[in-house]
Amino acid sequence: MRGGVLIIGSLLWDNGQRGTWRRRHLRVDEKVHVKAPIRYGRRSKLRGNTFTMTFAPDPPLGQAVLVPCAARIEDIRGLVAEAEALWKTEQPNALPSAIGATWGCVGLLFRIQGPPLDWRREWAKHFREKTPASPVNNCGLLGIPWPTRARDNDPVDLDMILATATRAQSQAPTAEAIADAWVDRHVGHERYFFENVRHGIRTPDDGLIWKRIEGRQPQWLNDNAYSEAICLLRSEVTLDV
């Protein structure tokens, strides 16, 4: 069966161990941008208590990146192995068999026609006693619509999708709060936003976030590393006027 990984953040562009995982497990040159319910919704201690991406409970949709797995998934063991490799990339100090922690977990989405019933049962059995993070349920299934390609709205042609769901804070932050968290830290965590924009990982609030950032004029706006994303954001704001 053909699998893929739905990426909504730095798994796509961080290097080091994540770069190694991408080279070994994904066909990055075949990635597609897809519609997905995502937003900045989780404060990350590792990123200076600034916001990182979560799945969103309600529309409007944002845009994520779906990357096919390098190898076909022939059985439940292969599926579990891909999930464990994904989680190890998210949390390098995790046990080899782990696919989740208190702050998030790997979820699985099957296409509508679905796999044999025993695949669902075995996946649920493997996920048992894990702590799910919304929209992943107690059986380890990811509760979002099957992704469609951003360019033409066609369903992606895969059989199953893995994704990391992280635990969002109870109240959705405003665009201003998201922007202010990056502006007030002054230690480079704003890179998360600009790299997401540069790689086509977008939320419906990106324009409002950008307006707040530009209005506050942090010194790092002059960083050449952000120029590509800034040009794109400025052009979008101009079109909205």
Query: What string of DSSP letters covers 57-73?
Result: SSSSPEEEEEEEBSS--
Q: What is the pLDDT of residue 115?
A: 63
Q: What is the pLDDT of residue 129?
A: 76
Could you tell me the pLDDT band of residue 185, with boundaries at 50, 70 and 90? confident
Which residue range forms the structural domain that includes residue 111?
Answer: 3-166
CB 64 within 8 A of CB 196: no
Residue at which a domain ends, from 166, 201, 224: 166
CB 226 within 8 A of CB 194: yes
| Residues 150, 58 share a domain | yes
pLDDT of 140 above 90? yes
| Residues 234, 142 share a domain | no
| Residues 135, 222 share a domain | no
For the stretch 189-206, pLDDT in tens is 999 999 999 999 999 999
CB 29 within 8 A of CB 145: no
Cα 112 to Cα 64, 109, 160, 225, distances in angstroms: 20, 9, 10, 41
| Residues 188, 127 share a domain | no
| Residues 193, 158 share a domain | no
Q: What is the pLDDT of residue 86?
A: 98
CB 78 within 8 A of CB 189: no
- ∠108-110-116 over CA atoms, to 5°? 110
Residue at which a domain ends, from 137, 166, 195: 166
pLDDT of 241 above 60? no
| Residues 21, 103 share a domain | yes
| Residues 162, 179 share a domain | no
| Residues 189, 76 share a domain | no
Tell me the HSE value of 190 on the side-chain side, using a 13 A CA sphere. 28
Closest CA to 68 of 135, 165, 198, 157: 157
Total domains present in the chain = 2
Residue at which a domain ends, from 166, 192, 223: 166
| Residues 160, 114 share a domain | yes
| Residues 190, 89 share a domain | no
| Residues 154, 131 share a domain | yes
pTM for this structure? 0.95
| Residues 181, 154 share a domain | no
Range from 68-82, 85-99, 108-122, 151-165 carrying the lowest mean pLDDT: 108-122
Compute the distance between CA of residue 169 and CA of residue 24 in angstroms, rounded to an integer: 33
Compute the distance between CA of residue 58 and CA of residue 45 in angstroms, rounded to an integer: 25
